[in-house]
Amino acid sequence: MSLNIYSIIAIAIAAICTFATRVVPFALFGGRKEVPVVITYLGKVLPPAIIATLIIYCIRNVDFLTYSHGIAEILAIATTAILHIIKKNTLISIGGGTIIYMFLVQYIF
Q: How far is the CB of 13 from another protein (least distance, A)?
A: 5
| CA of residue 34 relative to chain centroid, distance | 30
- Give residues with Cβ within 8 angstroms of 90, minimum separation 6: 84
Segment 48-87, which members bind another protein (CB under 8 A)?
A: 48-61, 73, 76-77, 80-81, 84-85
Closest among 63, 90, 86 to 74, alpha carbons compared: 63
Say how many residues make up the chain: 109
What is the maximal distance between C-alpha atoms in the chain? Answer: 58
Among 10, 36, 64, 74, binds another protein (CB under 8 A): 10
- How many residues sit in the footprint of another protein (CB under 8 A)? 67
Q: Which residues bind another protein (CB under 8 A)?
A: 3, 6-7, 9-15, 17-26, 29-30, 32, 35, 38-43, 45-61, 73, 76-77, 80-81, 84-85, 90-91, 93-95, 97-98, 101-106
